[in-house]
Chains A and B, each alone.
Chain A
Amino acid sequence: MMHHEISPGLWTLAWRRLRADRLAMAALGVVGAFILLLLLSSSGLVAGDWEDEVAVNYAPPSFVGPDAAGAALARPQAPTPPNAFDPLAAELEVLKAEVHAGHPPRAKALTLPFGADKWGHDIVKKTIKGGETSIVVGLVAAFVAVALGTLFGALSGFFGGVVDDVFNWFYSIFTSIPSILMILTVAAVLQQKGVLTIVLILGLTGWTGPYRLIRAEYIKHKAREYVMAADAIGASSWRKMFSHIFPNVSHVALVQLSILVVGFIKAEVILSFLGFGVPVGTVSWGSMLNEAQNELILGKWWQLAAAAGAMALLVTAFSLFTDALRDALDPKIK
């Protein structure tokens, strides 16, 4: 019996091309490391205790060494001499003893590898925790936007006619309002801050890019022979759209997803910075930059460096990977 060699599919070929690209694999490794950190931190295994005050206020990074102000803060205070005229002196001692019984005074570090913030939180843990918020918002919002864009694009491209007109009308409305203005407008209306709100804002305003590309793909594919064959065996429109055509256009959706994640991580940081994003008490890279802006004047640059550096590293890696992914999936376009 003849042995049939199965020709490798689009994804296998794309993966092979990607594997050959060393820069892309390095970028994928960095993105993977960030995702791993995110999983560890959301499960509480890493950075769960980021809010512990482990160091003196603004403890500098270790290689700078402790500064005078921090050292003075950490030095044990000389006991105040008892005031003979203070009628509450005895009670004060009792109160002090009570406070110390609950929270034994802890030795605070004078320096940390990457320094500490205003409250003595470890910057490394804070950056990991902040990254969790920023990355989750970016990923989920991008999924929402691509899902909406794909659904609308599929309906519009497949059915054409009035359906297409209606979605094109929506498209023209959403693209005639600049995205930042759209985002701020929806933020103003929704009034409540929160991770869910910001995901909704970004997801609802970001569907236009995927829509345009997916619609074009559906128009191209609906006339192909395999769709006619599916039609001949009586497949429903829904089945043709999502079981038959979608796998053939899914690479477009994947590249769009990859592009949007980067854009949305940046957008979340700006929104949180402006105070329209994550609620007070939640840390994100944007809220860290917000704090760091005022600290810079005091010469405390390490929080800024940590948040900006972590973000730049992730976004660079993600962008390089996206470029490589696009080339690998569509080798004609270089």
Chain B
Amino acid sequence: MLAYIVRRLWQMLPTMAGVIVLVFLLFNWVGGDPSYLLAGKMADEAAIANIRAQLGIDQPYYVQLGIFLKQIATFDFGNAWSTGEPVAHIIASRLGPSLTVLVPLTILETFFGIALALAIAFVRGSLTDRAVMVACTVGMSISILVYIIVFQYFFAYKLGLFPVQGWGESLGENLLRYALLPIIIGLAVSIAPTLRLYRSFVLDEVHQDYVRTARAKGLSERRIVWVHVLRNAAIPIITHVMANLPALLIGAFLLERFFGIPGIGREVILAVERSDFPVIKAITVYVAAATMMFNLLADLLYGAVDPRVQLK
């Protein structure tokens, strides 16, 4: 097991190196010289030369890459260009609000997705099943923007059930007051694709031999679906939850922006608007690293759920 983890981590190195080089090339080569942007409109030659020296972009590329590697290793990306706030501090302080929305959202989505998928599996092929699937397709076709705009307008602005936007100090206040509507919207958006997918996982299992054996033994349909099928469908579901975490970011970015939640997603959008390269670079590299770790975690969980899976 330990050997497996070590080898997987070792295999991540070339990918991580690739991510770093890609980000480096994008910002230091494709992105061009940011010193004119930083110096403002009334810049003179001396000011620009000064900025170039500070950023290190008067150095050869390999020195610049070295600077970037050192920044990644020491978590010190200097200060954000737009606000002067240290980048490390930005990332650390924006993580909490993002997780306050994402963690409950992921838990609720997985729970409702599984429960509904198993319930639908009972009535597979029926009119209910077909109607739910068509509703899912329609639900998935409406842009998340529309969900956010309409839900925010009706539930927060018109009916006043939730704050229109904002963020508090304590976790309890945020979770119960400010994060509630974003979580509901996230759930409304994600439940349709999740349900469709989990239904297909469940239906894959329903036709297996062990289900026939269980029926022959005289087990109740309820027990077959909720115990036997669920255990076997768990593996693709875990993969999906893990693989979907980065994809959840898309919704999280927009939710954070609309509801004024000071999270990672809103920070990225602000940074792109302000051409604040250090912030984007840092977030991209660390999110990529986190994504790889989640993939590893998913593989480790297979082994825990299914004894047939051997991690070598």
Please give, as numbers and ranges, the residues of chain B lying within 8 Å of A274 by CB-CB distance: 257, 269
- State whether A181 touches B249 (Cβ < 8 A): yes
A179 at the B interface (CB under 8 A)? yes
* Bound form: Cα–Cα A115–B40 in Å: 43
Please give, as numbers and ranges, the residues of chain B lying within 8 Å of A176 by CB-CB distance: 15-16, 19, 288, 291-292
- State whether B249 touches A312 (Cβ < 8 A): no
Given contacts A185-B23, A188-B275, A293-B149, contact A173 B18 (CB under 8 A): yes
User: Which of B142, B157, B283 is in CB contact (< 8 Å) with A312?
Assistant: B142
* Bound form: Cα–Cα A292–B148 in Å: 12
* Bound form: Cα–Cα A319–B137 in Å: 7
Please give, as numbers and ranges, the residues of chain B lying within 8 Å of A316 by CB-CB distance: 137-138, 141
User: Which of A188, A191, A289 is in CB contact (< 8 Å) with B149?
Assistant: A289
B238 at the A interface (CB under 8 A)? no
The binding surface of chain B is classed by DSSP as helix
Please give, as numbers and ranges, the residues of chain B lying within 8 Å of A315 by CB-CB distance: 140-142
Number of A-B contacts (CB under 8 A): 118
User: Which of A170, A185, A191 is in CB contact (< 8 Å) with B284?
Assistant: A185
Please give, as numbers and ranges, the residues of chain A lying within 8 Å of B254 by CB-CB distance: 270
* Bound form: Cα–Cα A320–B141 in Å: 10
Please give, as numbers and ranges, the residues of chain B lying within 8 Å of A179 by CB-CB distance: 247, 250
Given contacts A173-B22, A320-B137, contact A181 B283 (CB under 8 A): yes
Interface centre among B32, B143, B144, B254, by most chain A C-beta atoms within 10 angstroms, is B143
- State whether B27 touches A189 (Cβ < 8 A): yes
B167 at the A interface (CB under 8 A)? no
- State whether B149 touches A304 (Cβ < 8 A): yes
- State whether A275 touches B273 (Cβ < 8 A): yes
* Bound form: Cα–Cα A297–B156 in Å: 12
Please give, as numbers and ranges, the residues of chain B lying within 8 Å of A188 by CB-CB distance: 31, 271-272, 275, 277, 280
* Bound form: Cα–Cα A188–B282 in Å: 14
Given contacts A180-B250, A296-B153, contact A319 B284 (CB under 8 A): no
* Bound form: Cα–Cα A261–B273 in Å: 26
- State whether B137 touches A184 (Cβ < 8 A): no
- State whether A297 touches B269 (Cβ < 8 A): no
A313 to B, closest residue via Cβ: B141
- State whether A172 touches B15 (Cβ < 8 A): yes
* Bound form: Cα–Cα A173–B284 in Å: 12
From 11 to 61 in chain B, residues with beta carbon under 8 angstroms from any chain A beta carbon are 14-16, 18-19, 22-23, 26-27, 30-32
- State whether A180 touches B22 (Cβ < 8 A): no
**Nearest Cβ distance between residue A252 and chain B, in whole angstroms?**
18
- State whether A269 touches B143 (Cβ < 8 A): yes
**Nearest Cβ distance between residue B141 and chain A, in whole angstroms?**
4
**Nearest Cβ distance between residue A307 and chain B, in whole angstroms?**
8
The binding surface of chain A is classed by DSSP as helix
From 299 to 334 in chain A, residues with beta carbon under 8 angstroms from any chain B beta carbon are 304, 308, 311-313, 315-316, 319-320, 323
A177 at the B interface (CB under 8 A)? yes
* Bound form: Cα–Cα A313–B15 in Å: 40
A35 at the B interface (CB under 8 A)? no
B246 at the A interface (CB under 8 A)? yes
Please give, as numbers and ranges, the residues of chain A lying within 8 Å of B14 by CB-CB distance: 169, 172
Please give, as numbers and ranges, the residues of chain B lying within 8 Å of A172 by CB-CB distance: 14-15, 18
- State whether B157 touches A297 (Cβ < 8 A): yes
A13 at the B interface (CB under 8 A)? no
* Bound form: Cα–Cα A113–B280 in Å: 45
- State whether A269 touches B31 (Cβ < 8 A): no
- State whether A308 touches B140 (Cβ < 8 A): no
B251 to A, closest residue via Cβ: A180
**Nearest Cβ distance between residue B8 and chain A, in whole angstroms?**
12
- State whether A177 touches B143 (Cβ < 8 A): no
A151 at the B interface (CB under 8 A)? no
* Bound form: Cα–Cα A179–B248 in Å: 10
A264 at the B interface (CB under 8 A)? no
B309 at the A interface (CB under 8 A)? no
**Nearest Cβ distance between residue A312 and chain B, in whole angstroms?**
5
Given contacts A173-B19, A189-B27, A320-B137, contact A181 B143 (CB under 8 A): no
- State whether A169 touches B18 (Cβ < 8 A): yes
B253 at the A interface (CB under 8 A)? yes
From 12 to 46 in chain A, residues with beta carbon under 8 angstroms from any chain B beta carbon are none
B130 to A, closest residue via Cβ: A23
B145 at the A interface (CB under 8 A)? yes
From 134 to 171 in chain A, residues with beta carbon under 8 angstroms from any chain B beta carbon are 169-170
* Bound form: Cα–Cα A191–B273 in Å: 10
* Bound form: Cα–Cα A160–B186 in Å: 41
- State whether A177 touches B31 (Cβ < 8 A): no
Please give, as numbers and ranges, the residues of chain B lying within 8 Å of A89 by CB-CB distance: none
A118 at the B interface (CB under 8 A)? no
B146 at the A interface (CB under 8 A)? yes
- For this complex, 29 residue pairs linking A to B, each with C-beta atoms less than 8 Å apart, are A173-B15, A176-B19, A176-B291, A177-B19, A178-B250, A178-B291, A179-B250, A180-B253, A181-B268, A181-B284, A184-B253, A184-B268, A184-B280, A187-B272, A191-B31, A270-B143, A286-B145, A292-B149, A296-B149, A296-B153, A297-B153, A304-B150, A311-B142, A312-B143, A312-B146, A313-B141, A315-B140, A315-B141, A319-B137
Closest 8 CB pairs of A and B: A178-B246, A315-B141, A173-B18, A316-B141, A180-B250, A189-B31, A308-B146, A188-B272
Chain B interface residues (CB < 8 Å from chain A): 14-16, 18-19, 22-23, 26-27, 30-32, 137-138, 140-146, 149-150, 153, 157, 246-247, 249-250, 253-254, 257, 268-269, 271-273, 275, 277, 280, 283-284, 287-288, 291-292
Q: A185-B272, A270-B145, A297-B157 are in contact. List 13 more A-B contacts (CB 8 A).
A: A172-B15, A176-B288, A177-B22, A177-B284, A178-B247, A185-B26, A191-B31, A191-B275, A304-B149, A304-B150, A308-B142, A311-B141, A319-B137
